Amino acid sequence: MPVRYPVGDKYTTRNHHAQRIEQVMRSRRDKRAQRQPIKPAVVRGKRKKSD
């Protein structure tokens, strides 16, 4: 715990919110990582148009 303020409840709640935000960001990154392999299909379509 970095720097504990006198009001521990608010600080802990902020940490919990930060943890939830980190989890959401990680889940979004995981979803993006799963979507990326599918995107090359669209890129192939563009390559066909260029050819």
pLDDT for the residue numbered 48: 60
* Residue 13 in this model has a pLDDT that exceeds 60: no
- Residue 27: is its pLDDT beyond 80? yes
Please tell me the predicted confidence (pLDDT) of residue 15.
Answer: 66
pLDDT in tens, 28-39: 877 777 665 555
**Which residues in 4-27 are b (16+ Cβ under 10 Å) and which e?**
eeeeeeeeeeeeeeeeeeeeeeee
Domain ranges of the chain: 8-50
